[in-house]
Amino acid sequence: MNWLLDQLAEIARIPASDDDGDRARGLFLASHEVDGVNEWQLREGRVRIAPADARYRYLDA
């Protein structure tokens, strides 16, 4: 899974292409058999990882 996080981090670092400063943003849900479900937030030039909300627990099934 590290290769995917590395790719997302590289995308997050892409500088804004116009004057309004918009950068890549996204929300991904990743389910892992040991770590459970996490949110991967792509924003402000980086990837932030946090436990996902309980409503996404069905992804662990």
H/E segment holding residue 10: helix 2-12
Q: What would you report as the CA-atom Rg of the chain, rounded to the nearest whole angstrom?
A: 13
Question: pLDDT at position 20, please?
Answer: 87
Cα–Cα dist 37/47, whole Å: 16
The per-residue pLDDT for range 8-20, each reduced to its tens digit, is 999 999 998 888 8
Share of the chain above pLDDT 70, in %: 98
Rounded to an integer, the average pLDDT of 37-47 is 94
pLDDT of residue 52: 94
**CB neighbours of 56 closer than 8 A, spacing ≥ 6?**
29, 37
pLDDT of residue 18: 85
Average pLDDT for 32-49: 92
The gap from C-alpha 35 to its chain's centroid, in whole angstroms, comes to: 15
